[in-house]
Structure 1
Amino acid sequence: MTDDDILDAETVLGQTEGIYAEPAGAAPIAGIRRAREQGIISSDESVVAVVTGMGLKDTAGAKRAVGDVTRIEPTLDDVEARYGAAKNEMEHSP
């Protein structure tokens, strides 16, 4: 497993699970991915990973993984301008 594998796992955790992990916390995910590639863990097996270590411990690692930070003001208008307006599921319920 390489440092790049771990940085990629950091990115995957953020994008798919909303977890901001430090490299040591993302290492189990990288290890699981490698074990799957090598056939050690099959696709029909369930695996639990404990992700420890908040990404704020290593912000430089996060920057290496995903690039620079996009800064916005802490307002709903700025969040919506960047990511779009949230849909209220209750308004669309039958």
Structure 2
Amino acid sequence: MSALARFWDSDFGWNFRHSPVAIVSFAVTLLLILAAVFAPFLAIMNPFDPANLNLINGFTAPGTPNAFTGETFPMGTDDQGRDVYSTI
């Protein structure tokens, strides 16, 4: 009998399967862990890199393409041209 099967048949496993709060909590925790692991791939730019500062992109509205560079920022930019989505 594998460890997963023993866990599934244990009292703790039964209580976990029949508790909606535990299942939702586990799903949210798993989602946060995956978001943390894949954060470098989800971010468009590194907002803490001084080379990414571009004052021409300052206060760009969400979804508006820049006329000079063609970049589109899903949540807009701040006063120094950094992507708000990547900062969050």
Taking structure 1 as the reference length, the TM-score comes to 0.20
Higher RCO (CA < 8 A, seq sep 6+): 1
* Larger gyration radius, structure 1 or structure 2: 2
Structure having the higher helix fraction is 1
